Structure 1
């Protein structure tokens, strides 16, 4: 039986624009699982979703497994597949991609009885036509887990950065299924904002986009860095990389997808955690976000929509059905709850969904740069209440508060060192705007 929840967002003129996003629960997975690899394949008129490996509800070192499942969209039914054929045992943080009607399940890590982690160098090949596994592909040159993974032109598989046994790596490993060969492409930057695990991304046209992830230093803090890689179509192993800090790029184990020519990030968390959802920094349990992040190449801007899908995290893939429809299988809810839910999200239009809460011509702030105080002019906004957050350039929250129908508001940077900061405003229905300020 399907449970359905439809949310229509009828938003105020000049402040928030009309949009519609709907979601529904389909038949649940045969078991509760998280950190599982997810992809889909369309064969003729039938679309199948696949879930491979993951960790069970115990969230313990013995909870990783190789159990795999197939879901039929037309019948709304699941069936059990043979286990993922890895002789080294269960694994999590792997990723699955579809190329020319074959599924490639790459990397991941195995948990030892003492919770030690060993990265995998395997690529498993699943044939949807026979509903069984083929021989493994050639081993990855560098074992990897929690990588960014995306497909270029239905021909090459890009495995970008990720964790390899002891640290994050800058490698970009490219697999060609037609030759069963790996080749190293131009690596990402060597700094910790480039080399991450738990980041996610996609390829649109000839450009790679990836966001978020955890650094390899300290307590594996989350990054708020957005990266673009321009693939040379004449030599797809040649990539020109660029990136910049943006608080809306912050995220960990989000599901990445596309909507037309825009990149999406669904769910995830705003801080990093181990496989048991306990924060690496010792702050306790991490809970999921109900966020859809959007990058529009036409405007070059990141934006986000909050509150219009159920909160979900620990994702290692989103199945794209086309026509703005997406499936999310398993994952983790609040308070370490592993779920068997199959969530279908339908996005009808993002043309206006990503409008900021006030256009640049409406929201004025001065002086910028400032020595101490920035004044914000809200006089042209409709009366409303909203929250604000002050973040450093890395996206860490420094101060927060609430504002109720202000005309003018003064933000003090007193006591903070000189440098750049972000100010994030959030309306109750989820839309918001981020602006940069500079203290000299």
Structure 2
């Protein structure tokens, strides 16, 4: 058993940095929320205190780490004698030379307030799914006396482009989670609570690549943005992908090929506002890849879309 955490907490965000340190962020402690960020080093079995959060102390919030960046959102704050949901989102920049030094800033609010949602990391995006906007104690009955219901929405904060995006096709409608278990591009929740406030034994998962396209918050697909289905499809040995972008965005655009495990196979930088990309079934090293399903994702500063293709040999 490891060393005891200095300040007792539960219902906090727990995330791993650089496969070396475990961060415990805020949470409930005995009779109130705390703002502590407590860092565990399993190599030497010690705890240290990092820079405290600058927002309110929370419990039931969700978050994760990508690179040197922490993102957390939602949860419940205490105001007077009330437990109130908070939809603000906070970004923590970890100093890699001193991981206890964190610079906290507020970033755009989450699209919808969340409580006890599953959270995890995919590339440079922090994902959130399920949870509820009606916080409760242990029995699924809200502090307002109304039974809580889970949300089906899956969304994420894209750290590369600094915007919220939504992901379609999510199978989740459960709450009372703390995090995802993820294997490559597949994300799993185990158990949780359903719309009848019942603890369940279900295992749910989705493939984040297959469940795109994603759209930026408050935006529909722009008329001058187009990602065509590759042709031919299925294909061998090569296929053509046509695209069309807004003039002001194409300089920041890229098209990326992924395999079904979510691993990047090849990336193309876009040199023109409209054009074609030819993929000959090779990876970034010029090596031929195996037959199977692949995904191609077109991403700009304010929009991304993904489609599926099949390579046959």
Closer/same/farther in 2, CA of residues 166 and 293 from structure 1, 3 Å limit = same
Structure 2 residue aligned with 1:202? 64
Task: Tell me if 1:339 matches 2:200.
Answer: yes
The CA distance in 2 between the partners of 1:305 and 1:340, in whole Å, is 25
Instruction: Decide whether the 8 Å contact of 1:290 with 1:307 is kept in 2.
Output: no
Do the aligned residues in 2 keep the contact of 1:219 with 1:281 (CA within 8 Å)?
no
CA contact (8 A) 2:164 2:216 kept: no
Partner of 1:231: 94
- Divergent runs of 4+, >6 A: none
What does residue 147 of structure 2 align with? 285
Aligned counterpart for 1:219 among listed residues 82, 99, 104? 82
1:151 aligns with 2:16: yes
Measure how far apart 1:355 and its partner are.
4.2
Q: Deviation per CA, 1:37-62, whole angstroms, max 9, x where unpaired?
A: xxxxxxxxxxxxxxxxxxxxxxxxxx
| Residue pair 1:268, 1:313 contacting (<8 A) in 2 also | yes
Other-structure match for 1:321: 183
The alignment partner of 1:354 has SS state of: strand
CA distance in 1: counterparts of 2:210 and 2:126, whole angstroms = 13
What's the TM-score once normalised by structure 2's chain length? 0.67
TM-score by length of 1: 0.48
* Paired position in structure 2 for 1:301: 163
Counterpart of 1:270?
133
Which consecutive unaligned segments of at least 5 residues does structure 2 have? 225-301, 303-313
Deviation at 1:344, TM superposition (A): 2.2
CA–CA distance in structure 2, aligned partners of residues 326 and 358 of structure 1: 26
Q: Give the superposed CA RMSD.
A: 2.1
Q: Given that residues 266 and 292 in structure 1 are in contact (C-alpha distance below 8 angstroms), is that contact kept between their aligned partners in structure 2?
A: yes
Matching residue of 1:387: none
Task: Tell me the CA shift for residue 316 of structure 1.
Answer: 2.2
Q: For the structure 1 residues 309 and 148, does the alpha-carbon distance in structure 2 shift closer, same or farther, using more than 3 Å as the test? A: same
Alpha-carbon distance, 1:351 to partner? 6.6
C-alpha distance 197-227 of structure 1, shift in aligned 2 (>3 A): same
Task: Report the equivalent of 2:47.
Answer: 182
2:120 alignment partner, one of 237, 247, 257: 257
CA contact (8 A) 1:263 1:295 kept: yes
| Structure having greater relative contact order (Cα 8 Å, sep ≥ 6) | 1
Counterpart CA distance in 1 for 2:52 and 2:172 is 35
> Which of 145, 164, 172 in structure 1 is aligned with 2:37?
172
Decide whether aligned partners of structure 1 residues 247 and 179 sit closer, same or farther in structure 2, where only a CA change above 3 A counts.
closer
Say whether the 8 Å CA contact 1:200–1:255 is kept in structure 2: yes
Q: Work out the number of aligned pairs and report it.
A: 223
Structure 2 residue matching 1:239: 3-state secondary structure: strand
1:299 CA displacement: 1.7
1:241 aligned residue? 104
